[in-house]
């Protein structure tokens, strides 16, 4: 999954070129084999010290054991990866091995920029990663990336406030329903405190992915296979719940609607918010930044008609279609994603591995820092509803984001939200499916 703690920016072409030219200048000759040694360029988006250290250590281990195929580590950024890759593909200078997120792959896959890995992947890797995870990187009949890190959305709660309220504490086996969650949020509110803080600066992925468990999908396919937007009763559960908490119950803080997840943490630590819905990886920041004596716990997100299912967009490793060393690139990916290595990468990012064997590691099932709760949610993670929809980035940026922001603030009602998402949205998607 694209790291939610990192802002996503779209750059102008000039901005991308300014970022990319130094990289291209330094790498222009790297594709050529020298003295029989193959050099692979691996662009990594690891950014936290632990994840960068883990990734670089594995690259070093590969290079020590494979003198004929050396890997050059190239540091990329979640902030600019889409535009940077687009420019690199156009210039014929894409890295051989590409770290990205599955929700960013569709246009590159359909556009012929990424290699179909179907015939290249080793059977071990195919078996180890569940079919539901492979579904996040499958477009048409091709597989254009290996999903390797994922995270559920969870509720991070103030343990003291939760216990003193007397509410039922949910478990993965017996989660809250969305209705019960609303009642709990009201119970936890009062005396200058909100039961929940929704950080919805980027509201689309949270709304769609949590909506999967409530029976929503928002995107459907017609008889001809073309994607279209629909807004069903299941799609309405999450947005109407959030809007009611903000505008009717006043159990959710209006001020956090424009915040990113990290922005809510000072208020959470200060007791202003009893619960914050966040991606699983935010636990790292909480563990580091929480004041002494502050107790927090990880709870599953509310369940709906489809149970605890959530949409997810895992982090992925892909191979550029124009790489002259696809076989070697896949061998390196296979090395990075052995079960033990996958656990190291997951630990560095405080996420969950997709691999079945890696998920069995005892370190991922400890109650400390909520690891066990996250691991128990892994079987419920499904491909995000918008995963294979061409035109989704434009729909999200130009239609869904402003519509949901206005809806959650109370500026428009549910009927207007439905109209914008469906009517305006389908006009956008139609341009990509002519």
Kindly list the structural domains of the chain, giving each domain's residue range(s) and its CATH number in brackets, ordered by start. 13-149+313-383 (3.40.190.10), 153-300+391-431 (3.40.190.10)
Q: Hunting for tokens 């959470």 — which residue is that?
A: 268
User: Is the separation of the CB atoms in 238 and 211 below 8 Å?
Assistant: yes
Residue 365 has pLDDT above 50, yes or no: yes
Give me the mean pLDDT over the 335-352 stretch: 97
Residue 1 has pLDDT above 60, yes or no: no
- Token pair belonging to 233: 């009763």
Q: What is the dihedral of CA 131, 132, 136, 141, to 10 degrees?
A: 40
The pLDDT of residue 428: 95
User: Is the separation of the CB atoms in 366 and 372 below 8 Å?
Assistant: yes
- At residue 33 the predicted structure's pLDDT band, cuts being 50, 70 and 90, is low
The string of pLDDT tens digits covering residues 4-13 is: 554 444 444 4
- Percent share of the chain, pLDDT over 70: 92
Q: Alpha helix (H) ranges present in 221-337?
A: 233-247, 265-269, 283-289, 326-336
- At residue 34 the predicted structure's pLDDT band, cuts being 50, 70 and 90, is low
C-alpha distance from residue 33 to each of 30, 62, 91, 352 (Å) = 8, 18, 20, 36
Residue 127 has pLDDT above 60, yes or no: yes
The pLDDT of residue 12: 44
User: Is the separation of the CB atoms in 196 and 185 below 8 Å?
Assistant: yes
- Rounded to whole angstroms, the Cα distance separating 121 from 148 reads 14
Give me the mean pLDDT over the 130-155 stretch: 96
The string of pLDDT tens digits covering residues 91-123 is: 999 999 999 999 899 889 999 999 999 999 999
- At residue 78 the predicted structure's pLDDT band, cuts being 50, 70 and 90, is very high
Closest by CA position to 195, among listed 267, 90, 286, 111: 267
- Rounded to whole angstroms, the Cα distance separating 80 from 77 reads 6
The string of pLDDT tens digits covering residues 366-387 is: 999 999 999 999 999 999 888 8
Q: What is the DSSP letter of 318?
A: E
The pLDDT of residue 426: 95
The pLDDT of residue 107: 86
- At residue 269 the predicted structure's pLDDT band, cuts being 50, 70 and 90, is very high
Residue 229 has pLDDT above 90, yes or no: yes
The pLDDT of residue 126: 97
**What is the residue-averaged pLDDT of the chain?**
92
The pLDDT of residue 322: 96
Complete DSSP assignment for 45-57: ---SHHHHHHHHH
The string of pLDDT tens digits covering residues 299-330 is: 999 999 999 999 999 999 999 999 999 999 99
């Amino acid at each position: 999954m694209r790291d939610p703690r990192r802002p996503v920016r779209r750059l102008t072409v000039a901005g991308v070129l300014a970022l990319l030219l130094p990289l291209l200048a330094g790498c222009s000759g790297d594709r050529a084999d020298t003295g029989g040694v193959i050099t692979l360029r691996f662009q990594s988006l690891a950014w936290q010290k632990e994840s960068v250290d883990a990734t670089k250590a594995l690259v070093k281990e590969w290079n020590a054991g494979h003198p004929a195929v050396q890997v050059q580590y190239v540091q990329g950024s979640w902030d600019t990866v889409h535009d940077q890759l687009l420019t690199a593909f156009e210039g014929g200078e894409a890295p051989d091995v590409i770290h990205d997120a599955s929700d960013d792959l569709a246009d590159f896959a359909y556009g012929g920029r990424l290699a179909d890995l179907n015939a290249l992947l080793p059977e071990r890797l195919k078996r180890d990663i569940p079919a539901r995870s492979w579904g996040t990187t499958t477009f048409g009949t091709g597989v254009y990336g290996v999903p390797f890190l994922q995270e559920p959305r969870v509720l991070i709660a103030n343990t003291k406030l939760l216990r003193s309220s007397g509410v039922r504490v949910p478990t993965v086996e017996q989660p809250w329903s969305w209705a019960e969650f609303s009642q709990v949020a009201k119970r936890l509110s009062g005396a200058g405190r909100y039961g929940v803080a929704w950080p919805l600066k980027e509201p689309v992925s949270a709304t769609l992915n949590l909506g999967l468990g409530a029976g929503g999908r928002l995107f459907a396919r017609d008889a001809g296979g073309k994607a279209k937007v629909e807004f069903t009763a299941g799609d309405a559960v999450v947005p109407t719940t959030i809007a009611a908490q903000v505008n009717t119950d006043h159990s959710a803080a209006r001020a956090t609607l424009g915040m990113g997840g990290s922005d809510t943490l000072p208020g959470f630590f200060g007791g202003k918010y009893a619960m914050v819905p966040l991606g699983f990886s935010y636990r790292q920041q909480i563990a580091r930044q929480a004041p002494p004596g502050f107790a927090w716990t990880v709870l599953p997100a509310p369940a709906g008609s489809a149970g605890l299912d959530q949409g997810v967009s895992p982090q992925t490793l892909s191979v550029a279609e124009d790489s002259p060393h696809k076989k070697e690139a896949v061998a390196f990916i296979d090395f990075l994603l052995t079960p033990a290595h996958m656990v190291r990468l997951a630990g560095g990012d405080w996420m969950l591995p997709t691999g079945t064997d890696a998920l069995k590691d005892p370190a991922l099932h400890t109650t400390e820092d909520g690891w066990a709760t996250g691991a128990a949610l892994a079987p419920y993670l499904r491909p995000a509803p918008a995963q294979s929809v061409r035109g989704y980035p434009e729909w999200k940026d130009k239609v869904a984001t402003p519509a949901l922001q206005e809806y959650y603030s109370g500026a428009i009602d549910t009927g207007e939200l439905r109209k914008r998402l469906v009517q305006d949205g389908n006009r956008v998607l139609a341009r990509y499916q002519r």
